């Protein structure tokens, strides 16, 4: 679905060449996968995201979307139609004064007949659970609602894949939960390929696969469970692990044999209770 | 007494179909030198409340006093009040505009009409306070990283030498390392002892480690006000009003429910570790029954 081969990129601010942002990066994302991308600020994750719909073009190597090279100018619009993007700040992505007009913006620009647009807009708003707000003014919605409208705008293009660059960074816990629920639904019901860039480890823990970037490279690429068990590595990269993982790990390091392969509260509680039982039976 | 809020009410779009009571009979007193966390989900009224602290918004009823002066005062007195309360807005880096970091930080003090030498002292002091190295001062603020820009913006407010520093979501949008950096910087600003600090956030995890007192807002009202322990002991209620209690606090709750005899008021990984180690030791010595 999305493929980066030996991808190389650096920004040039016109005065001096800055450091290489993406350095010979290889990544292959399959149809229907939910991939979380982690990394501290400046590690190149947003730069990578912008390559997936041709907003940026590789300086070296290639990026393919459904087998189409993003360097193929004639296919650029086909690529953009297949990869929807959602960014951090919902206020910067909303263009219309009415929710449903905003969602209709992209399909209108694709020149789709109006009956079809109507259907797509309604479907998209229902998918993100914002249908009853279709006549509302976007600026009066909460952050989580605005971000769901932005997602509806992306999926109204009927893309194969949706790339989200920190869509929850500006939201409160409730708004974050709404957006995450929407992402999981898109994956389950529409088999949408989702690339989620995030700083929140609990969100990454919900993905099928976690890619950790540092300094333009991919450092780890594995299931959330295998990634988060590498507590020391993640910390050294300026990243967190879920608190329960960190707790179980630190207990382990102090010589208490608690299983630290845990991602959720329940798993951690189970591990601690198991350990307590093992002590008691040893007594 | 730094701040005194009495029976404060505020209504948005009064008289329109969108009328919304944003603040409902708020009573808060904050003493000089307190470090207060103000928490609540979006729409709970916390940003509306902090905008009352320097007279950006005026009460529809009730009173707000800063260092004994009411915020409804006008002219020179209002100007003095705005100098007393330094407000750092959300995403303050969007407000940077000058050619150099130095000029940006100097903007406020220059408008106060201070002598050049005094401005220079204040700019350098404020930059040091937020951990900006001196060589950054001559750079354009727009060439800095996001975290550094934010620190420039905070320095601009500190250079006004406010007696109360209010920061609205200072860590929003930063990565874990950036969050940690800004928070420890705020802590060290507080530790210098010249300011009352109010930290507005929806992240309990960030705030719990730093402040002496937590005020929780919900639907325009003060929902809880007390020490971190007192407020967190109402963990389940906090979750019900849409706040995320630290994951480790939820875990401890779960362990207590499963019958472990441990202190339920724990909200940092470090404390949870120590408490569990103590517990493990106790049962190893056979001190606890199965």
Task: Select from A40, A268, A280 the Cβ nearest to the Cβ of B283.
Answer: A280
Residue ranges of chain B whose CB lies within 8 Å of a chain A CB: 18, 41-43, 145-147, 172-178, 202, 205, 242-244, 246-248, 250-251, 254-255, 258, 260, 269, 272-273, 276-277, 280, 283-284, 286, 290
Q: Which of A158-162, B25-29, B201-205 has the lowest mean pLDDT?
A: B201-205
Rg (CA), chain A: 21
Residue B272: CB atoms within 10 Å? 25
Where do runs of H (alpha helix) occur along B53-159? 76-84, 101-111, 116-129, 146-158
Give the number of residues written for chain B.
290
Is the pLDDT at B86 greater than 50, yes or no? Answer: yes
Cα distance from A135 to chain B (closest Cα, Å)?
A: 15
* Mean pLDDT, range A241-267, rounded to an integer: 91
Q: Of chain A residues 33-52, which have a CB less than 8 A from chain B?
A: 40-42
pLDDT digits (tens, 9 = 90+) for B88-139: 988 888 888 899 999 999 999 999 889 999 999 999 999 998 889 999 999 9
Task: State the pLDDT at residue B288.
Answer: 57
The tens digit of pLDDT for each residue in B37-67 reads 999 877 788 889 999 998 999 999 999 999 8
Give the pLDDT of residue B165: 95
Element (H, E) at A85: strand A83-86
Q: State the residue for tokens 């005194």.
A: B4
- Of A142, A251, A265, nearest to B276 by CB-CB distance is A251
Helix (H/G/I), strand (E/B), else coil: A236: helix
Tell me the percentage of chain B whose pLDDT exceeds 70.
98
The answer, for A188 touching chain B at a CB cutoff of 8 Å, is: no
- Closest by CA to A213, choosing from A73, A40, A78, A69, is A40
Residue A40: pLDDT band by 50, 70, 90 thresholds? confident
pLDDT of residue B119: 95
Average pLDDT, chain B: 88
| Record: contact A250-B258, CB cut-off 8 A | no
For residue range B174-193, list pLDDT tens digits in order.
777 788 888 988 999 999 87
pLDDT over threshold 80, residue A265: yes
Distance from CA of B242 to the nearest CA of A (A): 6
Q: Convert the pLDDT of each residue in B26-39 to its tens digit.
A: 999 999 999 999 99
How far is Cα A192 from Cα A47, in angstroms, rounded to an integer? 22
**Whether A276 contacts chain B with CB within 8 A:** yes
Average pLDDT, chain A: 89
Helices first, then strands: H and E counts in chain B: 11, 10
Which pLDDT score is estimated for B162?
Answer: 93
Local confidence band at A16 (pLDDT 50, 70, 90 cut-offs): low
Predicted confidence (pLDDT) per residue in A168-219, tens digit: 887 777 778 888 999 999 899 889 999 999 988 889 999 999 999 998 889 9
Indicate if the pLDDT at residue A14 is higher than 70: no
- Decide: A78 and A68 in contact? Cβ < 8 Å: yes
Percent of chain A with pLDDT over 90: 55
Predicted confidence band of residue A144 (pLDDT cuts 50, 70, 90): confident
Record: fold of B3-241: Rossmann fold (3.40.50)
Say if residue B268 is exposed, middle or buried (CB neighbours under 10 Å; 0-12, 13-18, 19+).
middle
Say which range, A217-231, A252-266, B81-95, B166-180, has the weakest mean pLDDT. B166-180
Q: Do B269 and A169 touch (CB under 8 A)?
A: no
Residue B193's pLDDT is what?
79
Please tell me which of the candidates A40, A173, A266 has its beta carbon nearest to residue B175. Answer: A40
Domain residues of chain B, as ranges?
Answer: 3-241, 246-290
Longest dimension (CA), chain A: 75
Does the structure show a pLDDT above 90 at B216?
Answer: yes
Is residue A17 pLDDT above 80, yes or no?
no
| For residue B289, pLDDT beyond 60 | no
3-class secondary structure, A276:
helix
CATH class of A2-224: alpha beta
Q: How confident is the model at residue A162 (pLDDT cuts 50, 70, 90)?
A: very high
Decide if A99 contacts A134 (C-beta within 8 A): yes
CB–CB of B203/A200 below 8 Å? no
- pLDDT, position A242: 87
Examine the pLDDT at B280 and tell me if it is beyond 80. Answer: yes
Confidence of residue B201 (pLDDT cuts 50, 70, 90): confident
Q: What is the DSSP string of A8-24?
A: EEEEE-SSSEEEEEEEE
Residues A265, B176: C-beta atoms closer than 8 Å: no
Asked if pLDDT for residue B284 goes beyond 60, the answer is yes
How high is the ipTM of this complex?
0.72
What is the average pLDDT across B283-287? 80
- Residue with tokens 């001190």, as numbered in its chain: B287
Range(s) within chain A of domains with CATH label 3.40.50.300 = 2-224
pLDDT of B290 higher than 50: no
> Does residue B204 surpass a pLDDT of 90?
no
- What distances in angstroms separate CA A211 from CA A46, A153, A171, A208, one per listed residue? 13, 26, 23, 10
CB of A39 closer than 8 Å to CB of A212: yes
pLDDT at site B70:
92
The torsion defined by the Cα of B238, B244, B245 and B246, in degrees rounded to 10, comes to 180
Looking at the predicted structure, is the pLDDT value of residue A15 above 60? no
User: Which residues on chain B are in Cβ contact (under 8 Å) with A239?
Assistant: 175-176
HSE on the CB side for B214, CA within 13 Å? 24
């Amino acid at each position: 679905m999305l493929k980066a081969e030996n991808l190389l990129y650096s920004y040039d601010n016109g005065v001096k060449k800055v450091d290489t942002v993406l350095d010979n990066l290889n990544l292959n994302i399959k149809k229907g996968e939910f991939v979380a991308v982690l990394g501290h600020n400046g590690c190149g994750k947003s730069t990578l995201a912008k390559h997936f719909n041709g907003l940026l073009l590789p300086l070296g190597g290639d990026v393919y979307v459904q087998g189409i090279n993003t360097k193929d100018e004639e296919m650029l619009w086909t690529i953009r139609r297949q990869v929807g993007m959602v960014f951090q700040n919902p206020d910067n992505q909303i263009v219309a004064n009415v929710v449903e007009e905003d969602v209709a913006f992209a399909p209108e620009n694709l020149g789709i007949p109006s009956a079809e647009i109507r259907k797509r807009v309604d479907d998209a708003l229902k998918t993100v659970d914002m249908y009853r707000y279709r006549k509302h003014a976007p600026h009066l919605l909460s952050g989580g609602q605005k971000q769901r409208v932005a997602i509806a705008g992306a999926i109204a293009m009927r893309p194969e894949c949706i790339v989200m660059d920190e869509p929850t960074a500006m939201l409160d816990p409730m708004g974050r939960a709404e957006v995450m629920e929407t992402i999981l639904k898109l994956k389950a019901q529409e088999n949408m390929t989702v690339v989620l860039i995030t700083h929140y480890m609990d969100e990454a823990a919900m993905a099928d696969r976690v890619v950790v970037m540092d300094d333009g490279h991919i450092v780890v690429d594995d299931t959330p469970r295998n990634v988060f068990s590498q507590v020391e590595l993640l910390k050294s990269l300026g990243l967190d692990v879920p608190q329960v993982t960190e707790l179980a790990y630190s207990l382990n390091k102090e010589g208490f044999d608690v299983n630290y392969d845990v991602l959720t509260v329940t798993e951690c509680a189970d591990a601690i209770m198991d350990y307590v039982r093992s002590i008691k039976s040893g007594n | 007494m730094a701040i005194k809020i009495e029976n404060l009410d505020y209504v948005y779009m009064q008289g329109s179909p969108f009328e919304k009571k944003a603040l409902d009979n708020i009573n808060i007193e904050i003493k000089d030198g307190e470090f207060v966390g103000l928490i609540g989900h979006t729409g709970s009224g916390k940003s509306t409340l902090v905008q009352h602290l320097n007279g950006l918004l005026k009460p529809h009823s009730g009173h707000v006093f800063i260092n004994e002066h009411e915020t409804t005062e006008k002219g020179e007195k209002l100007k003095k009040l705005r100098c007393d309360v330094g407000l750092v807005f959300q995403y303050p880096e969007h407000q940077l505009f000058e050619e150099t970091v130095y000029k940006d930080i100097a903007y406020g003090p220059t408008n106060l009409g201070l002598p050049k030498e005094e401005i220079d002292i204040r700019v350098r002091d404020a930059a040091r306070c937020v951990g900006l190295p001196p060589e950054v001062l001559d750079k354009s603020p727009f060439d800095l990283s996001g975290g550094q820009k934010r620190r420039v913006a905070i320095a601009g407010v500190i250079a006004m030498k406010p007696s109360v520093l209010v920061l609205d979501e200072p860590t929003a949008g930063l990565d874990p390392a950036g969050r940690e950096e800004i928070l420890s910087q705020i802590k060290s600003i507080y530790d210098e002892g010249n300011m009352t600090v109010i930290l507005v956030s929806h992240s309990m995890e960030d705030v719990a480690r730093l402040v002496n007192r937590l005020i929780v807002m919900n639907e325009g009202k003060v929902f809880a006000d007390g020490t971190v322990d007192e407020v967190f002991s109402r963990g389940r209620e906090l979750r019900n009003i849409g706040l995320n209690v630290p994951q480790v606090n939820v875990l401890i709750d779960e362990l207590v429910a499963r019958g472990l005899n441990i202190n339920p008021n724990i909200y940092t990984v470090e404390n949870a570790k120590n408490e569990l180690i103590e517990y493990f030791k106790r049962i190893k010595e056979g001190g606890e029954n199965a």
